[in-house]
Structure 1
Amino acid sequence: MIRLLVIAGLALTASLATFAFANGATVIHVASTFPMSMPLFSEATGRLSEEVDSLTDGEVKLVFHVPGDLAPTSDTMDRVSAGKIEAAWSTAGQFAGHDSAFELLSSIPFGPDTVEYMAWLFEGGGLTLSRDLFSSYGIYNVPCMVLPPEGAGWFSKEIRSADDLKGLKIRFFGLGGRVLARLGANVVQISPSDIVDAIKKGDIEAAEYSLPSMDLTLGLQNVAKYYYFPGWHQPSTLFELYFSDATWRALTTKQQETIETVCAAVMRDTIGRAEKMQMDALDDIKKRGIKLRRWSPDLLLTFEAAWRSVADEEMATSPRFAEIYKSYERFHTNYGFWKRFSYLH
């Protein structure tokens, strides 16, 4: 059985800024910024813990902590950067307060699906750019999981035109939120655990979170009856382990390679598992009477035009954003030529 190593209620002490040694093992405390009880997250963190432990013969132990245990979620990545926390399980978009370029290393609106994202990341120079950016903040990143398209949000009413978005109070993450704000929506950030209550109380009218399987677990089907697709804002989403430079350098080369290898295995297996889980989740959601909707072609064109405007604005203000986005666009152009000629769809 996969073991989920979760230490709840452990106070943050100075000892967490350095390695803890127990019976000769290097124990690395990993702060999660996502609920680890969610489908896929629980399996991923459990497997990472178990296999790193096993393949290093107990020399390295990854101990995952629930959000807020070691630090406030919004401050987690900053503390890894400062060396106050050894590692984090998160996505690059959580560090976007420092540079909007980090958003592109999490997900790209109207961008790559899972296969294309991995091709750009590992073969198109994306990972080199990513590690260069993170290294400037004292962080070493290891890609560990990539997810398929998210749902595009839960709404209490149908959205038939861009006018229906004006003034709409909605929880929306990342660059997609910037797009909706540009179209007049009132975009707010709320932690996953607070989304359902916020809709119940009327603080927000709509929300996006993640994949159908995760949205179902969160309970969004209980507070909104319209569920929109496709998830144009996050066609794929990358999750990683983030180590402080000191933590990563203290590991042996073999231990570093083991963590990279286990992450690669988790990423590979998650691709198939995630796709299958969404089939089952959508079937469940339909049986609950939720109305599934696809965005109209006109609205998708409106979203895309707004995204291009946001991207142009960010490229003008962030050299790193421009560098990474242009790298992806060059890759996408060549990949698109291959895809159009070689794939049926």
Structure 2
Amino acid sequence: MTLKRRDILKTGAGALVGLAGAPMIARAADKQQFHWRMTSAYPSGSPFYSTGPGSASDFVKRVEAASGGRLKIDFYPAGELIPALGGFDAVRGGTVQMNWGNAYFWAGRSFAAQYFTAVPFGMDVMTVNAWLYHGGGQALWDEVYADFGLKALPAGNTGMQMTGWFKKPLEGLESFKGLRMRIPGLAGKVYEQLGVNVKVLPGGEIFPALERGVIDAAEFVGPYLDRQLGLQNAASHYYTPGWHEPSNVSELLINKAAWQQLPDDLKAVVQNCAAACNEISFAWCNANNAAALNDLTQNQGVTVHQLPEGVLPKLRELTMDTLSTHAAEDQQVAKVHKAYFDFKKQAKGWLDVSEKVVLNENL
């Protein structure tokens, strides 16, 4: 009996060791590590985009910390691994797993992609986030990129931008004819109808082009980031409002095959870190733009103007005509267009009785 008890105890102990070890083996298997690469449309040292709170480098640090080091991402600013606007092809081809930029850079691949960066006379930050996170916008974004083998997430927002910098003051609609201007996205197509010679340049190329007179005007973001580029040293007439970009979504572009290989907990890490950067970057812009604008106007000889009378109504008319034309030619564009503006209209009803009443001091 004693021997049998010992045998039983020995067997039982072995079983307990086996049971205790099994979860450890399973947990070890679950701890698969990933080492990815991420490129960017923006150069090294660019505030908001490459460095600082809510930037690409901040995102990379957050992902590594939140994943306990299981997902490490090497970050390559524009020009270090691929050209500034080569992210779409690099991610699609699997050269890298991620790219940090803006969806409207890929307008040549899909016109509908632009709705996920900025739409002229479109939604502000609060409303576009509501659409993306809770109004079906993210699902549409996934649908637009499905045929390319890509996935995207919102990862930042500049908020309302400025019309841009002009070497000479604008007198009216006639001032746009023949103007050479850096302006990406849908706004470029609208400006072309006013006779503007549109240039799409990455951020790092704007100042030298404006300074040398290669272009006559340029749009980038807003006071703080524009000042960082030194645009005030190449042009002194600064126009508002940012009709073309009431908000501007930073895009985290992901290779879909690589994304599908991530376990669910690491997918959640990426999604949550991107969402954190989306909110933090917008707060950072708001915290810095006011002081930067004051510095530009008080200390650096910049004059802020509103667009001349009659310009905004014409721009709105051309915008809606342009969007309607593309929607009529492409079912996917039509679907995204309708969803976007339906949500905007719905949100307006609430904003008109809430924020608008408080923020409009003329009411």
TM-score (norm 2): 0.85
d(CA) in 2 for partners of 1:136, 1:124: 22
Q: Which residue of 2 aligns with 1:326?
A: 338
Q: Which moved more, 1:82-91 or 1:156-165?
A: 82-91
User: In the TM superposition, what are the counterparts of 1:201-240 in structure 2 within 5 Å?
Assistant: 201-240=212-251
User: Which one of 172, 181, 184 corresponds to residue 173 of structure 1?
Assistant: 184
User: Which one of 302, 309, 317 corresponds to residue 305 of structure 1?
Assistant: 317
Partner-residue secondary structure (3-state), 1:98? coil
Q: Which residue of 1 aligns with 2:261?
A: 250
Change in Cα spacing, 1:136 to 1:178, as seen in structure 2 (3 Å) is same
The answer to whether the aligner puts 1:260 opposite 2:271 as a matched pair is: yes
**Residues 95-146 of structure 1 deviation map (CA, whole Å, 9 limit, x = unaligned):** 2111111111111100011101111111111111001111221011121112
Question: Retained in 2: the 8 A contact 1:99–1:318?
Answer: no
User: Which one of 120, 144, 147 corresponds to residue 158 of structure 2?
Assistant: 147
Question: Retained in 1: the 8 A contact 2:36–2:96?
Answer: no
Q: Which moved more, 1:68-77 or 1:88-97?
A: 68-77
Partner-residue secondary structure (3-state), 2:253? strand
- 4+ residue runs of structure 1 moved beyond 4 angstroms? none
User: How many residue pairs were aligned?
Assistant: 323
Change in Cα spacing, 1:36 to 1:280, as seen in structure 2 (3 Å) is farther
Question: Retained in 2: the 8 A contact 1:36–1:45?
Answer: no
d(CA) in 1 for partners of 2:148, 2:106: 10
User: Which one of 326, 344, 355 corresponds to residue 314 of structure 1?
Assistant: 326
**Residues 251-273 of structure 1 deviation map (CA, whole Å, 9 limit, x = unaligned):** 11101101111111122222222
The answer to whether the aligner puts 1:60 opposite 2:68 as a matched pair is: no
User: In the TM superposition, what are the counterparts of 1:263-278 in structure 2 within 5 Å?
Assistant: 263-278=274-289
Q: Which moved more, 1:189-198 or 1:219-228?
A: 189-198
Q: Which residue of 2 aligns with 1:18?
A: none
Partner-residue secondary structure (3-state), 1:74? coil
User: Which one of 31, 38, 42 corresponds to residue 30 of structure 1?
Assistant: 38
d(CA) in 1 for partners of 2:209, 2:350: 45
Give the drift of 1:324: 0.8
**Residues 13-44 of structure 1 deviation map (CA, whole Å, 9 limit, x = unaligned):** xxxxxxxxxxx742110010112422222122
d(CA) in 2 for partners of 1:191, 1:60: 29
Q: Which residue of 2 aligns with 1:292?
A: 304
User: Which one of 108, 125, 137 corresponds to residue 114 of structure 1?
Assistant: 125
The answer to whether the aligner puts 1:86 opposite 2:97 as a matched pair is: yes
Partner-residue secondary structure (3-state), 2:86? helix
Unaligned runs of 5+ in 1: 1-23
Q: Which moved more, 1:219-228 or 1:68-77?
A: 68-77
Amino acid corresponding to residue 329 of structure 2 in structure 1: T
Q: Percent of counterpart pairs with the same letter?
A: 28
Question: Retained in 2: the 8 A contact 1:82–1:138?
Answer: no
d(CA) in 1 for partners of 2:264, 2:270: 10
Amino acid corresponding to residue 203 of structure 1 in structure 2: V
Amino acid corresponding to residue 84 of structure 1 in structure 2: T
Partner-residue secondary structure (3-state), 1:241? strand
d(CA) in 2 for partners of 1:101, 1:190: 20
Unaligned runs of 5+ in 2: 1-31
Question: Retained in 2: the 8 A contact 1:48–1:62?
Answer: no
**Residues 147-201 of structure 1 deviation map (CA, whole Å, 9 limit, x = unaligned):** 2111111001111211000011111111111111111111112232222222232
Give the drift of 1:225: 0.8
d(CA) in 2 for partners of 1:94, 1:166: 24
d(CA) in 2 for partners of 1:160, 1:304: 18
TM-score (norm 1): 0.90
- The structure that has the greater radius of gyration is 2
Change in Cα spacing, 1:268 to 1:219, as seen in structure 2 (3 Å) is same
Amino acid corresponding to residue 207 of structure 2 in structure 1: V
Give the drift of 1:297: 4.3
Q: Which moved more, 1:247-256 or 1:291-300?
A: 291-300
Q: Which residue of 2 aligns with 1:340?
A: 352
